[in-house]
Each structure stands twice: as C-alpha cells, then as structure tokens.
C-alpha cells in the first residue's frame, strides 16, 4: 500500500492553509498514494498562546473539514489532518480527523497529552481528549492508529493504539523548534516504531515555528523517507510481509508483561 506524508507551515490565514492542503492532497493522489497524512494545526498556525485558537476553532462539519473532505473525494484518497474543533462544553479541542476516499469521516482523535512543556501552556487554551478513545481505522489491509505531537513522548499512546489493532502509527505534529528538538523528534519516532514493531508516518509542520523532518519509519526503525526542512511531500510503501517478518523476529507484542491503563492527569506541584 502506498502512503504519503505532507508538510508545510500553516499561518493565520485559514483560506491559504486550506489551499496549500488541497495541493498536497492532489500531489499525493497523483503519486499513487491511498492515504496522505498532514500536520497538526493545519487549520491555523501561530506563535501566540494557545488561547488564540478559540476564535478560529470550527465544528467538524465546518468549512475546513468540509473542504478537506472535498479534496479527498475529488482525488479518491484518504486523508488524516489536524484541526481545532469547537467544544460546546468549554475550551476547543486539538483534533485529528480521518476521512476516507469519499470524504466521509472515519474517526477523530482529540489530543490527550497537552503541550505544557518548554515554557508553553497548551492547556490554557485547549481541552484534553479522553485517553480511552484512540483513533483506529482500517485501510488497504492495514490497521492505522493516530495521536498528536506531544503524545509522541508518552509510549502508552502508541501502545494503546497497537492494542486496538494498529499496524501503522500516524503522528501529525507541530513539533516546535528548540535546542535538541530535532533529535528528540527523530529518536522518539524510531523508538515508537521499534518498540511496537509498527510503521510510523509522522507529518510535521515546517519553519519558522516547527522543525520539519516529516518521515516514514519501518517496523525495524529504518527511516525509509524523510522530508527534510522544506515544505513538500514524501511517499512510502507499506509492506505486509516486512511487517510480519519483523514481528516474528522480535515478538515484543507477544512477550510484553504490562498493560496500558488510562488514568486521570497527575497534577504537578506547580499547578497546585
């Protein structure tokens, strides 16, 4: 199965962001991909605090998701993309939406681990999702599971998706630049692939805010495609035989002795 990963830099003009996504969906379909993974925060990107997204958050049947659904249907390709979802109960969600090749919603994922790190407080403007609701769907004979950016630092996020039947981990992100951040990104992506014997497809935003380096990693931790720093698209082929062979050679999923159990957030001393 051929898949694609797109990266770009979202700005504060949602129309321009949507147009850029449409071009990437078209290019992915032209390359023969059956699925394209696009970054977190593709609706709107800013260096402002997390509270800024409340003004632009949309319902899942709003203009942004409807436009992406139209791209998926027009080009006959499934799409996973990050947006900001209006929440009638309070702060908006940082949400991934998976759409099939007809533009119908396969499922959603609301970011569980909010980016309260490196001096940023995502929780000031975003409501966390439910850790008991992984996004998992089937396509082309593979199981796909998705989570978002900072979730990558928590191996339980990936393992919960694996337990739900995932062969391919999808990681839309806006991995912010900073000391050591590129190394963290690549190391963690390879670790999630190796420890779960799963493919990893990671779609990051590019500069000036994020690091770029979207990539496809195979179940043995081999990087098979890397997008570098500039906006663009990478393509990779998922191989069922390769996946099965690695899982036979390193049967960590059969040998494991611990389960993943969702829990309530642990409050730090700083947060009271």
Reading the block at residue 41, the tokens are: 């925060």
Q: Is 66 in contact with 110 (CB distance < 8 Å)? A: no
Q: Is 164 in contact with 171 (CB distance < 8 Å)? A: no
Rounded average pLDDT over 67-85: 98
User: Which one of the listed residues 34, 40, 85, 156 is annotated catalytic?
Assistant: 40
Phi-psi region of 181 (alpha: psi -120 to 50; beta: other; left: phi over 0): alpha
135-163 confidence digits (pLDDT tens): 999 999 999 999 999 999 999 999 999 99
Known catalytic residue at 195: no
270 has a pLDDT exceeding 50: no
Angle at 197 between CA 41 and CA 2, to 5 degrees: 60
Known catalytic residue at 111: yes
> What domains are there in the chain, each with its CATH number?
2-255 (3.60.110.10)
Nearest to 87 by CA among 39, 54, 43, 112: 54
User: Which one of the listed residues 34, 149, 156, 190 is annotated catalytic?
Assistant: 149
Looking at residue 49, what is its pLDDT?
86
Residues 6+ apart with CB under 8 A from 140: 1, 34, 35, 238
92-138 confidence digits (pLDDT tens): 999 999 999 999 999 999 999 999 999 999 999 999 999 988 899 99
Sheet architecture: strand order including 93-99: 105-110, 93-99, 78-85, 35-37, 2-7, 232-237
Rounded average pLDDT over 45-55: 91
Between CA 102 and CA 112 the distance in angstroms is: 28
Local confidence band at 267 (pLDDT 50, 70, 90 cut-offs): low
Reading the block at residue 12, the tokens are: 């504060």
Reading the block at residue 185, the tokens are: 């990104």
Between CA 23 and CA 25 the distance in angstroms is: 6
Looking at residue 161, what is its pLDDT?
97
Q: Let me know how long the chain is.
A: 272
Local confidence band at 50 (pLDDT 50, 70, 90 cut-offs): confident
Q: Is 245 in contact with 221 (CB distance < 8 Å)? A: no
Q: Is 143 in contact with 168 (CB distance < 8 Å)? A: yes
Rounded average pLDDT over 255-270: 76
User: Which one of the listed residues 111, 122, 156, 190 is annotated catalytic?
Assistant: 111
Reading the block at residue 137, the tokens are: 């769907």
């Amino acid at each position: 199965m051929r898949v694609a990963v797109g990266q770009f830099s979202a700005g504060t003009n949602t129309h321009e962001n949507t147009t850029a996504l449409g071009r990437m969906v078209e290019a992915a379909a032209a390359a023969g991909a059956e699925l394209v993974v696009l970054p977190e925060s593709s609706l709107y990107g800013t260096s402002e605090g997390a509270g800024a997204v409340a003004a632009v958050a949309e319902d899942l049947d709003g203009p942004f998701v409807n436009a992406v659904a139209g791209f998926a249907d027009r080009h006959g390709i499934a799409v996973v993309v990050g947006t900001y979802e209006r929440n009638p109960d309070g702060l908006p969600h940082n949400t991934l939406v998976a759409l099939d090749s007809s533009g119908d919603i396969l499922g959603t994922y609301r970011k569980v681990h909010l980016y309260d790190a490196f001096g940023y407080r995502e929780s000031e403007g975003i409501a966390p999702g439910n850790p008991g609701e992984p996004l998992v769907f089937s396509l082309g004979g593979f199981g796909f599971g998705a989570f978002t950016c900072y979730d990558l630092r928590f191996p339980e996020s990936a393992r919960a998706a694996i337990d739900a039947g995932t062969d391919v981990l999808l990681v839309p992100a806006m991995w912010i630049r900073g000391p050591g951040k590129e190394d963290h990104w690549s190391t963690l992506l390879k670790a999630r692939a190796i420890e779960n014997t799963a493919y990893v497809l990671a779609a990051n935003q590019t500069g000036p805010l994020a690091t770029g380096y979207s990539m496809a990693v195979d179940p043995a931790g081999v990087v098979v495609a890397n997008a570098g720093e500039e906006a663009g698209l990478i393509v990779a082929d998922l191989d069922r035989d390769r996946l099965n062979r690695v899982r036979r050679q390193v049967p960590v999923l059969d040998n494991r002795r611990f389960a993943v159990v969702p829990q309530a957030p642990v409050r730090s001393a700083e947060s009271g």
